[in-house]
Amino acid sequence: MEVQSDVAYLKSLLHDVVKAFIVYGWDSFWGVARDYLALQGWRRLLEYRVVWIRPELDVGDAFADVVAISVREDNENVYAVTAIEVKTGRIDGEMLFHAVLRQVSGVYTNHVRLAHRYLANKLGIRSPTLSAVGYILVAWSRHREAIEKTFNKIRIATSKGNKTISINNKEYYIPYKLALGYIPLEPIYRKLREDLQKMIQLADSEAN
């Protein structure tokens, strides 16, 4: 039990560190992510500029770890809402399918209106247009095949327009303009190791 508890704790710690890295080290994270997303049909959304980002404060499986609002560089009236989910453990394809549907639907339901209020209050945009909802999953590369199968399953389900999908008597709204992206955890983990080593060296120097 002690070993299992230690493993669970370390996975949870890594999850929280990666989540914080995404929010507070956005430029570093995006520098890693954009090259992978460019190969997954995100080229247009990569031209958007993030204007609001925060860790999700609500809990539950309908909420992703991080939510961001971005606007198009050449037209701030056009915006996108993106959910970012971090998974540091094993991934089951069927469970992931349900989780993505719940989180995409949750982001659309909870954050599109928030985005309208934010853009109106902070940027003076009164009639913004939602161009897409994005969903980015950060996970170990050994799960890539399961993730790609899950994403393809969702793309097929929404290929002919907006879709309401029912799971266990609950309905989830999945927008037609949904961008799905996967980022391997390994390069982010390597960047975090470098930063943590610098932090330890700084702390040691301060302590001495």
> Is this prediction's pTM over 0.95?
no
CB 84 within 8 A of CB 33: no
Name the 3-class secondary structure at 50.
Answer: strand
Closest CA to 147 of 91, 185, 82: 91
Question: pLDDT for 126-171, tens place per residue?
Answer: 889 999 999 999 999 999 999 999 999 888 877 776 678 877 777 8
Question: pLDDT for 37-89, tens place per residue?
Answer: 999 989 889 999 999 999 976 656 668 899 999 999 999 999 999 999 999 99
Closest CA to 180 of 133, 129, 110: 133
CB 185 within 8 A of CB 36: no
Task: Give the Cα separation of 124 and 18 in Å (integer).
Answer: 33
